Amino acid sequence: MPVLPALLLELGIVLAVLGILCALARRIGFSPVPLYLLAGLALGEGGVAPVPAVGMFVEVGASIGVVLLLLALGLEFSVSEFSASIRTHVPSAVVNCVLNALPGAIAGWALGLGLVGSMALAGITWISSSGIVARLLGDLRRLGNRETPSVLSVLVLEDLAMAAYLPLVGVLAAGGAWWHALISSVVASAAVAVAFIASYRHGVRLTRLLDTADTEQFLLRILGLTLIVAGVAEILGASAAVGAFLVGLVLTGQVADRARRIIGPLRDLFAAAFFLTIGLAMDARELPAVLPVAVALAVVTAFTKVATGWYAARRDGVGPRGRLRAGAALIARGEFSIIIAGMVITTTDGIIGPLTTAYVIILAVVGPTVARLVDLVPPRTGPLREAKTV
């Protein structure tokens, strides 16, 4: 069969399946993210119905999906609001790193992965999935909740930390020297700092430049700028997600409102591709051998993420129910964990690939499910007290 008809046929089937799963999730009041992930696992290599022709197309769409998800999150806040929140949550970032990286590092040492492998596994268990959490907050209509700035602060500080962490691990995994790795980390971190300062000082000018009454021009300008900034961030060793988030923070007022309305459908389409790709990248046949270790890591780091969110939301004066929601929202791991595993897969005897695959799919499914179930638990303090504290 020629490539184009195969691509169109498989892509059409995939989108139809995702549409059915989305309808099912909406019917039962859950986020469709876990179903998208499981669908990707079923349609990927080793699954029940592989779709090889759509691989490259969906992979590109997935990269755009992460960018649009973080752009949409940035549009919900201003630079001044978020910079204040970031300053408040530096201690939360430290707690997050200690609680969630340490289990991965210990597991890497116990598995004999060596220094680089243990560092990589520490990063895999440390970093939440910005894409999944962003979609989850929207699906559960929590963008206006009191705990949401705490969650976003933790996520962005994680992504900023990745600007230093990824070059460090990448250089060491490639056999580079420590001094070379440290220089790469410093350069990437400095680039992110400069971008943040520039967005803080020149955001109003940029907003005026992008504003236009023509919807088509407006959409092209917003998407063009976002993809450029995201691409530059990746080139400098930072995260495309951070770049997209900064663009969203810069836009304010009526321009931000228009951007939210216009990019909404595109965000949902490409976000579905992102979640599907996580599943497609995994070979289901390799999972059983590493499942016990993956489950143990998932259980431990699910609780440590809940503790992280609880601590962060408490710093913002959020009540117990909101703290629990914040922690549950952070459970899911995803895109960064896969990226980190790919950087060191040749230096760890191949075990880190399937282990990360199993770990990510467990928490990417469990995280959104637990986040939804939190709202179903009756409050212990009564409705009046809950209304005051949450």
Instruction: Select the more confidently predicted residue: 264 or 296.
Output: 296
In angstroms, the CA 342 to CA 200 distance is: 34
Instruction: Select the more confidently predicted residue: 82 or 288.
Output: 288
Q: Which residues contact 359 (CB under 8 A, 6 or more apart)?
A: 124, 125, 294, 297, 298, 333, 337
Structure-token pair, residue 79: 């630079």
Average pLDDT over residues 35-56: 74
When divided into structural domains, the chain yields a total of: 1
Average pLDDT over residues 75-86: 70
In angstroms, the CA 330 to CA 308 distance is: 8
Q: Which residues contact 135 (CB under 8 A, 6 or more apart)?
A: 31, 33, 69, 271, 275
Task: Indicate whether 58 belongs to any domain.
Answer: yes
Helix (H, G, I), strand (E, B) or coil at 212: coil
Average pLDDT over residues 218-229: 90
Predicted confidence at residue 365, as pLDDT, reads 84
pLDDT > 50? residue 383: no
Task: Indicate whether 16 belongs to any domain.
Answer: no
Task: Indicate whether 219 belongs to any domain.
Answer: yes
CB atoms inside a 10 Å sphere around CB 17: 18
Predicted confidence at residue 1, as pLDDT, reads 47
Q: Are 130 and 98 in contact (CB under 8 A)?
A: no
CB atoms inside a 10 Å sphere around CB 221: 16
Predicted confidence at residue 75, as pLDDT, reads 80
Residue the block writes with tokens 């995803």: 334
Predicted confidence at residue 114, as pLDDT, reads 86
Query: For 320-334, what is each residue's pLDDT tens digit?
Result: 999 999 999 999 987
Query: For 291-323, what is each residue's pLDDT tens digit?
Result: 999 999 999 999 999 999 999 999 999 999 999
Rounded to 5°, the CA angle 210-213-218 comes to: 40
Task: Indicate whether 22 belongs to any domain.
Answer: no
Task: Indicate whether 254 belongs to any domain.
Answer: yes
Predicted confidence at residue 124, as pLDDT, reads 93
User: CA torsion angle for 42, 45, 51, 54 (degrees, to 10)?
Assistant: 110
pLDDT > 60? residue 216: yes
pLDDT > 70? residue 47: no
Average pLDDT over residues 98-108: 95
Structure-token pair, residue 21: 């799963």
Q: Are 72 and 248 in contact (CB under 8 A)?
A: yes
Query: For 151-204, what is each residue's pLDDT tens digit?
Result: 988 988 887 787 778 777 877 776 767 776 677 667 766 766 676 676 667 667
In angstroms, the CA 7 to CA 281 distance is: 18
In angstroms, the CA 290 to CA 112 distance is: 14
Average pLDDT over residues 262-286: 79
In angstroms, the CA 121 to CA 77 distance is: 32
Structure-token pair, residue 30: 């859950």
In angstroms, the CA 33 to CA 243 distance is: 23
Q: Which residues contact 93 (CB under 8 A, 6 or more apart)?
A: 154, 157, 158, 161
**pTM over cut 0.95:** no
In angstroms, the CA 54 to CA 121 distance is: 30
Average pLDDT over residues 211-217: 86
Average pLDDT of the chain, as a whole number: 80
pLDDT band at 289; cut points 50, 70, 90: confident
Predicted confidence at residue 389, as pLDDT, reads 43
pLDDT band at 79; cut points 50, 70, 90: low
Task: Indicate whether 48 belongs to any domain.
Answer: no
Q: Can you give the residue range of the structural domain that contains 339? A: 54-376+385-389
Instruction: Select the more confidently predicted residue: 376 or 123.
Output: 123
> What separation in angstroms does the CA of 233 have from each of 162, 230, 369?
11, 5, 32
Task: Indicate whether 5 belongs to any domain.
Answer: no
Predicted confidence at residue 188, as pLDDT, reads 66
Task: Indicate whether 349 belongs to any domain.
Answer: yes
CATH number at residue 82: 1.20.1530.20
Average pLDDT over residues 56-74: 80
Query: For 110-134, what is each residue's pLDDT tens digit?
Result: 998 888 889 999 999 999 988 788 8
